[in-house]
């Protein structure tokens, strides 16, 4: 069994600029309640992915999303809107409908290469506008395989 790395609730990650060996360092929140990783638009700017966010906001059609139609809308997005926007917006990888506590949101996803402790992680991340920025990066459980989380290990700053 390979040794698992023990990490805390807050960790520094390196995020690589797409297709390069250059990276930026950011504080990340380790969030087992999130499925995928998310980065704030401020980070996206540094990575040269900000236009993905702005273009997405501009080109994504206004849709009425409710609890009842969201499965159907999700299907429409998957089959028609996503392929179209992927052609129009370089760097856009996927569009996903996320049911959150406070309503349903639609988020653009980009490919991302991360480095957390001793592991390189090739993944996708959503671009979000996280207004209060203690943690501009949020690492979701999908990218936490091979780690053990010790909630007492690091100093976690509460918002």
Partner 1 sequence: MGKVLGMNARNLVFIHPYNSGQAVKTANNKLATKEKLFAAGLPSAKLFGVIKNRKELFNFDWSSLPSSFVLKPNFGLGGGGIVILYGKDKQGHWISTGENVYDIADLQRHTSNILDGNFSLSNIPDIAYCEERLRLAEVFKNVSYQGVPDIRILVFNSVPVMAMLRLPTKQSDGKANLHLGGIGVGVDLVNGTTTFATAKQLGQISLHPDFNTPLSNIKIPDWDNILRISIEAAKAVGLGYAGVDIVLDKQYGPMILEVNAHPGLEIQNANRITLRDRLDRVAGLTITSATKGLSVCKQLFAKQDGESDLLNPVLGIYEPVTVQGKNAIAMPVRALIDTGLTSTTITKDTAIKLGFTEALAAIQTLQLPASVAVDRAQAAEDNFRTKILALQSDWVDVAAVRSEGQYLIRPKLPLAFDLGGRRLTSTVAVALDNKLSHPMVIGRRDLAGFLINPNRNKK
Positions in the binding site for partner 1 (CB under 8 A): 1-4, 6, 9, 29-34, 100-103, 105, 129, 131-132, 138, 141, 144-153, 156, 158-159
Return the number of the residue (34 or 125) whose C-beta is nearest partner 1. Answer: 34
Return the number of the residue (2 or 19) whose C-beta is nearest partner 1. Answer: 2
How far apart are CB 4 and partner 1 at their closest, in Å? Answer: 7
How far apart are CB 48 and partner 1 at their closest, in Å? Answer: 25
Return the number of the residue (17 or 97) whose C-beta is nearest partner 1. Answer: 97
How far apart are CB 119 and partner 1 at their closest, in Å? Answer: 13
How far apart are CB 18 and partner 1 at their closest, in Å? Answer: 25
Return the number of the residue (30 or 125) whose C-beta is nearest partner 1. Answer: 30
User: Beta strand pairing status for 137-139 and 23-30?
Assistant: parallel
């Amino acid at each position: 069994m390979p040794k698992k790395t023990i990490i805390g609730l807050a960790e520094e990650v390196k995020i690589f600029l797409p297709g390069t060996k250059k990276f930026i360092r950011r504080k990340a929140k380790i969030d087992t309640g999130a499925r995928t990783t998310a980065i704030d638009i401020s980070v996206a700017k540094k990575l040269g992915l900000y236009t993905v966010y702005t273009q997405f906001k501009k080109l994504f059609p206004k849709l009425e999303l409710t609890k009842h139609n969201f499965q159907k809308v999700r299907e429409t997005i998957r089959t028609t809107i996503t392929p179209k926007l992927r052609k129009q917006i370089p760097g856009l990888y996927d569009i996903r409908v996320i049911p959150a506590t406070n309503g349903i949101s639609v988020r653009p996803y980009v490919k991302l290469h991360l480095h957390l402790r001793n592991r390189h992680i090739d993944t996708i991340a959503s671009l979000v506008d996280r207004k209060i920025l203690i943690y501009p990066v949020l690492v979701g459980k999908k990218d936490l395989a091979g780690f053990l989380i010790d909630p007492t290990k690091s100093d976690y700053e509460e918002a």
